[in-house]
Amino acid sequence: MSTDKEKLNQLLEKVDEITSVLNAISQDLRSVSASLKSMAVGQITQPTPVAPAAPPTPPREPTKQRSLDDIRMSFPEELEARLAFEEKGDYIIIKPKQFLGSENFAKIASAVRGMGGEYISAGKDSHFRVPKKKA
């Protein structure tokens, strides 16, 4: 009878471990879901300008360069304070100074994509980069 109790206790411990893992996965999924929703809301809430009848197109100007200050001013003050900006070659590199959280990360990623930039996932060296040349 005691071996049955031991087996039952082992099974209960396994069930508790599985429950803990499932709870952690559930929390991660909530975080990802919140990030996706905030990115989707950012894309939905940006109105698409309605183009009037197209006037004749003037000759194309040479592409302009963005400055570090141009990029910095693209972010709200509270987000800008959490970011470090650096010029490197043809790009402006944006690195977080602290943990951003999913909502702030999504806001920054959306702004960077709007400027033609991207997120570079590289562990501790992960960063956003925005080309200096406007497209």
* CATH label, 68-131, candidates 1.10.3210, 2.40.50, 3.30.1360, 3.30.410: 3.30.1360
Segments making up each domain of the chain, as ranges: 1-47, 68-131
Across 4-13, 14-23, 34-43, 112-121, least confident range:
34-43
pTM assigned to the model: 0.53
Summary mean pLDDT of the chain: 80
- 31-87 residue pLDDT tens: 666 666 666 655 555 555 555 655 555 555 556 788 888 899 889 899 999 999 999
For residue 131, the SS3 value is strand
Within the chain, residue ranges assigned H as helices are 2-45, 68-72, 77-80, 101-114
Residue 113 has pLDDT above 90, yes or no: yes
